[in-house]
A and B are shown apart, each in its own frame.
Chain A
Amino acid sequence: MKVYAIAINTFKEVIRDKIFYSLVFFALLLLGASVLLSTLTLGERSKIIEDLSLSGIEIFGVIISIFVGIGLVNKELEKKTIYIIISKPIKRWQFLLGKYLGLSLVLLSYVAVMTACYMFFLYMYTNKLPWQTLMAVLLIYVELLVVTASAVLFSTFSTPTLSASYALALYVIGHMTGDLRGLAAKTGQAGARAVLNFIYYFLPNLEDFNIKARTVHAMPIPLDYLLMSISYGLMYVMAILSLSVLIFQRRNFK
């Protein structure tokens, strides 16, 4: 109930923010652009639209996750709105979870709206409805959940600018963990190998959530792969949020 109250409030906070709308606007623009671009290029139009649109949904989703995500807690601290909340009978973990769920809800709506537009464009221009790409969208959403959780984590102990850089770095490195592991196997230095392995095991393997290319080229996605990736993502989210709560619990508010 209290978590729900905070989540709904957070949903309103983001939804009533102009910045959110401009991001969604640009994301939609990108969808439109992908249709235009597809007419200019040779090759299969539908693949180009699918490819660009899915990437666009992901990139703008990540931007929203990181920039809104770090603001979730930070704005409350900066504007001191948190005083009114924390002095009421609500636990800090409930507050943090509510904030997180609120943004997750926003991202869900964002992904849903974007996907609907994307499917609509695709149907208009190619008369096809590639249901399989919905799986890619689902995993993009799970990835956004992970990125948002890490943004929240960083913002519980760091400044907004630093938090944004950390979260961005995590996103980029998270997509390269496979390469890092390969590098670890090749490197002769024990120290470097330890660091690379550490990164491999502790940072989220975001490439797991990337099945865009496979769905676009209509390659089969086994159901258990899908389920595994989703559980991996959710477990990762829980771990990061628990850590965030531990840090947040000790904070003094200025």
Chain B
Amino acid sequence: MIRTEGLKMEFRVGFLRKRVVALKGLTMEVKKGEVFGFLGPNGAGKTTTLKILMGLAHPTGGAAWLMGRPLSDSSVKRKIGFLPEQPYFYDYLTAAEFMDLSGRLFGMRNKERAARAGELLDMVGLSHAKNLQLRKFSKGMQQRIGIAQALINDPELVVLDEPMSGLDPVGRKQVRDIILGLKDNGKTIFFSTHILPDVEVICDRVGILVRGELRAMGTVGELISGTRVKSVEMTFKDVSGENLSRLENMASGTVTRGSETTATFNDPEAAGKAKRLVFDSGGEIISLIPHKSSLEDLFMEEVGKKK
């Protein structure tokens, strides 16, 4: 659905025309029907990439294809929906008028436009505000109408730049559900974000972009499976005396509350031994939680790396 090859983008800023490199040869692919999360810290070049893909900026090097067509072929735009970062809309239009304009730009017929607009406003929970001017919308409402307009043409490929930003937890959940719903309908979704927990839940694959370079790409599982279980947290009770102090020595840290103790072990083996010791000494294990390294750890690691 999306393919880029050696995509480069340079800006000249200020009076001295200083060079800012936003993308250093980005090569990646988003496959049909997948939800692809495009991660990266602030200033990594995510928005720049999306702008290039949407024809809003021209790359200074490399090439990209949308649905197998080069970017110069704008005919594929009719099958694409796009939500820009921090979207601004025509604030003098009402929500309904804005949806209508969006539909017109896709050349949709009157009836189809009205029906689709109603459906989408309903889906993003804005039907009550359809005759309200967009200048009176809150940030979250703007984000929602942005998502609604991106879907007006029932797109095959949906490109969203930080769709969760500015939304409360309920709104974020709604957006997650919308994305998963789109996926169920066979659509491809490519979105950028820094909200990592959401990514783990909904993405088939992710790419991590740092300072204009793609540092990692793959399924969430692949990316973090290479990394071992980081630590194990065990809570137990009814162990006392010498056995307790042995356990305390094995653990990297313990917290005792009444008869219950929570110990953290740095490797699974130590945790295994400790488990047996608790059993042998007649104690009871209340919980045993392995902490895997998360996408967040990987993200932090990649961002921290100097290359």
Which chain A residues have a beta carbon within 8 Å of chain B's beta carbons? 1-2, 5-6, 9, 12-13, 16-17, 79-91, 250, 252-253
Contacts and interface: CB of A to CB of B under 8 A. Distances in A.
Contact of B82 (A6, A9, A81, A84): A84
B90 interface: yes
Contact of B104 (A1, A13, A84, A91): A1
Given A5-B105, A250-B58, A87 B84 contact: yes
A79 B153 CA distance: 24
Interface string B64-78: 000000000011011
Contacts of B57: 252-253
A100 to B, nearest CB: 17
Interface of B: 51, 54-58, 74-75, 77-78, 80, 82, 84, 86-90, 92-93, 97, 101-102, 104-107, 146, 149, 153
B84 A80 contact: yes
Contacts of A89: 74-75, 77-78, 105-107
Contact of A83 (B80, B84, B97, B105): B84
A81 B56 contact: no
A16 B89 contact: no
Contacts of A88: 77, 82, 102, 105-106, 153
21 contacts: A2-B107, A9-B93, A9-B101, A12-B93, A16-B92, A17-B92, A79-B88, A80-B87, A81-B88, A81-B90, A83-B54, A83-B56, A83-B82, A84-B87, A86-B56, A87-B84, A88-B82, A88-B102, A88-B153, A89-B78, A89-B106
A252 B105 contact: no
A81 B89 contact: yes
Contacts of B82: 83-84, 87-88
A156 to B, nearest CB: 15
Given A1-B107, A5-B101, A253-B51, A87 B88 contact: no
- A-B pairs with the 10 shortest C-beta distances? A5-B104, A83-B84, A87-B82, A89-B77, A252-B57, A16-B92, A87-B54, A88-B105, A89-B78, A79-B88
A245 B82 CA distance: 24
Nearest to B105: A88
Nearest to B80: A87
B150 to A, nearest CB: 8
Nearest to B100: A5
B23 to A, nearest CB: 13
B92 A13 contact: yes
B142 to A, nearest CB: 12
A253 B89 CA distance: 16
A86 B84 CA distance: 11
A17 B90 CA distance: 12
A253 B54 CA distance: 11
B112 to A, nearest CB: 14
A86 B53 CA distance: 12
A129 to B, nearest CB: 37
A7 to B, nearest CB: 11
Contact of A85 (B80, B97, B105): B105
Given A5-B105, A80-B84, A253 B90 contact: no
A45 B307 CA distance: 82
A88 B149 CA distance: 10
Given A12-B97, A17-B92, A88-B105, 15 more contacts: A2-B105, A5-B104, A83-B54, A83-B56, A83-B84, A84-B84, A84-B87, A86-B55, A87-B55, A87-B80, A88-B77, A88-B82, A88-B106, A253-B56, A253-B57
A117 to B, nearest CB: 26
A202 to B, nearest CB: 29
Contacts of A250: 58
Contacts of B55: 86-87
A2 B56 CA distance: 18
Nearest to A2: B105
Given A5-B101, A80-B84, A87 B56 contact: yes
Contacts of A79: 88
Given A1-B104, A13-B90, A80-B87, A87 B77 contact: yes
Nearest to B90: A81
Given A89-B78, A253-B51, A84 B102 contact: yes
